[in-house]
Amino acid sequence: MLPSREFEDLVKLISILRKECPWDRKQTHDSIKDNLIEEAYEAVEAIDEKNYEELSKELGDLLLHVIFHSKMASEEGQFSIDDVIFRLSDKLIRRHPHVFNDTKVKDSAEVASNWESIKLTEGKDSILDGIPKNMPGLIRAQRMQEKAANVGFDWAEWQLAWEKLNEEIDEWRESVASQDFENQREEFGDLLFSLVNVGRLLKLNAEDAIRLANKKFEERFKYIEKKLGENGKTITDSNLEEMDQYWNEAKKKQ
């Protein structure tokens, strides 16, 4: 079998693997679910790095999982890849009445509001339904805030959210002084949630921001390790003063 650009050929290829490869044959939804998450993060990393050749590969890996899960489901008579495609197209058409029907909208904000209203007619009990509970906390906080904002539950301006942020800082400081761990954790969570809110109102993405901060820390700390290595030392042979010196050098280079 040769590589192809046709979707049907890819579905056929994965069906062959499912039948003839011992590893593919023994997989289940549960056994590869973490791989699906990993592939999604690899795609996000490629986007962050603006590496579009890599993004093309990672999107292919995600597509593999979509077809693979659909194939396993079809073997159990649950659904097929055709069902996946139909349900997606049905949802997109239904939730875009301003494109496929006579609904009039004035801007993207009204589109988002209509989207949430339509979801509630589809059997959702809350506009917050559908946000996975095991999604990374910063992403989930931002998505919940965005969905609430889509229906008008939001601060009028970021300065008002900033006042709430300062209030949460004071409450967390008080909880730290109380030495009550459970209260500290709760107030720290409230502080993070408020910080996400301020950033969102300033058009910042909390997860993007923390990934950037993590990347800077990683690069600077690895610079410390590199400089120490050039001097025949390891990180455990150093002290804070020496590490700070190299840290500041790394900052200047960045």
Q: What is the pLDDT of residue 222?
A: 95
**Which residue has tokens 């979801």?**
119
- At 57-87, the pLDDT tens digits run 999 999 999 999 999 999 999 999 999 999 9
CA distance 76 to 114: 36
Q: What is the pLDDT of residue 42?
A: 95
CA distance 67 to 78: 14
Under CATH, which number does the domain 7-92 receive?
Answer: 1.10.287.1080
Q: Which of 183, 186, 253 is nearest to 222 (CA)?
A: 253
CA distance 191 to 108: 30
Give me the residue spans of the domains in the chain.
Answer: 7-92, 155-204, 209-253
Q: State residue 104 phi and psi, 5-degree precision.
A: -105, 135
Q: Count of residues for the chain? A: 254
* Alpha-carbon radius of gyration of the chain: 24
CA distance 77 to 89: 21
For 50-87, b/e burial (b = at least 16 CB within 10 A) is eeeeebeebeeeeebbebbbbbbbbeeeeeebeebeee
Whether the CB-CB separation of 224 and 250 falls below 8 Å is answered with yes
Q: Quick check: pTM over 0.85?
A: no
Q: Could you write out the DSSP letters of every residue in 104-153?
A: --SSHHHHHHHHHHHHHHTT-SSTTTTS-TTS-HHHHHHHHHHHHHHTT-
Q: Which of 188, 148, 154 is nearest to 170 (CA)?
A: 188
Residues with Cβ within 8 Å of 158's Cβ and at least 6 positions away in sequence, in order, are: 198, 201, 202
Q: What is the mean pLDDT of residues 112-129?
A: 85
Q: What is the pLDDT of residue 151?
A: 86
Q: What is the mean pLDDT of residues 105-133?
A: 87
Q: What is the pLDDT of residue 141?
A: 96
- At 160-212, the pLDDT tens digits run 999 999 999 999 999 999 888 999 999 999 999 999 999 999 999 999 999 99
Share of the chain above pLDDT 90, in %: 81
